[in-house]
Chain A
Amino acid sequence: MSEILTVKGLKKYFPIVSSTFSRRQVNYIKAVDNVSFFLNEGEILGLVGESGSGKSTTAYVIVGIYSPTAGDILFKGRNINVVATKRPLEVKKEVAIVFQDPGTSLNPQHNIREILSVPLKVHKVVSKKHLNSKIEELLDIVELPKNYMYKQPRAIGGGERQMVAIARALATNPSLIVLDEPTSALDVSVQAKIINKLLDIQKEFQLSYLFITHDLSLMRNVATRIAIMYLGKINELAPAAEFFQNPLHPYTQMLISSVPVVSKAEESIKKKKIISAGEIPSSVNIPPGCGFNTRCPFKKDLCFEVDPEMVEVMPGHYVRCHLYQGMRC
């Protein structure tokens, strides 16, 4: 299996200026701070975090909405650490994104046909003659009827709109799709339909997904590997089953024990009960040392001085915490 995406030391800092006119930089918001991970071909990597953890910024830097402050993004071995406008067309064609809210990510003045034809025309996927048949094919993949072509986004339901957004992402035959919370605005019965469709598509077209979400139980059922982000850094990364059987980072344990569940079997997974306390600090004033030291029940003096390094404690299981620094495998 080869790596389709490798992210190395990625940083995205947003400057805070003192006033609109002087533009004097006062401080930085460290939205993404030294993030490294890789994504294998045909794999689903779940990037989980609370709001303000930098997971969406990571996604936006990868698809080129923001340019990174530092770091490398290797897509199929090619460095693409610039904004999308500076990327070669053939790379842009291969990386697609589905946004969280289909109500705002689809142009309300265009009908579905116009929305889907934009990427087809820009990337010259099909000739003008075959445009309609390609759009019909795309609607067919997401199981929407053909007559939806001439409807406007507001005339269809929320779940169907997200299906249109998925069809648009598929239009250019990408190999990597970044899914930025694709179902968090939807009801669970609709979410189930969308997730099952996404998994079918992933298998059929051999796609790789970078799946951004805040929903751990959803990731348990979807992701091959899961990474937890907190204050712009990855705290733990492990294969999905291992991640839930043997969560190591105190933050991961806190997250898992906070998930509301619906069966007794699930409660046994939440056995390591760490009571949730405190809130995520602002990413302007990140505390020195480990970012989690304000909420951690196991904090030591060291945690306030030194930021721990990412350590591979078991094959494929990485954790960034002082508790496990000696457990290098």
Chain B
Amino acid sequence: MQSRSERLWKRVSPHLRRGIFKENPIFVLMIGLCPVLAITTSVSNALGMGLAVTFVLLGSNSIISCLRKVIPREIRLPCFIVIIASFVTIVELLLKAFFPLLDRSLGIFVPLITVNCIILGRAEAFASKNSLKDSIIDALAIGIGFTCALILISSIREVLGNGKIFGLSLGFPPALFFLFPAGAFLVIGILMGIIQFLRKGR
């Protein structure tokens, strides 16, 4: 058993490292930024959005990987979009039914997951060329990377823009600027700079 779980970890960990650091969808690949700017005003929204995207990615990556030999190359994009849109609609219905508060605060950005380029990007670049097992691991890795990035950005914006953390006041006047999209660009830009600096090692 020991060796089996070790082997599994050996197989998963490089993917995880790739999803969170080397190919982080937001900070390194810089895709899917639109919802990031809009919903990272609070940590709870960011977590909800991250999990929703991870779920859609998991569903679409596995189905597309299963069908990769059946789908003809010329019509792959419409096929991918139909599959992705179905999963997004399911997420939307589930959120409305079981997490109405989260659904209310995420608003229009749940249906817009359909056009999030992270998901189509993974379908095209990974799931349509790799086995089911690898596609599931890839979806989890990229989803976790996306969620981590959202939480990092939203915690900075919530603290600076609202002057609160977990509903507790921090005792300084909040800078509303950080809640506007311009504030989001600034936070993301500075974080990207720091991460590039660390990656390049100078």
A and B assemble together: no
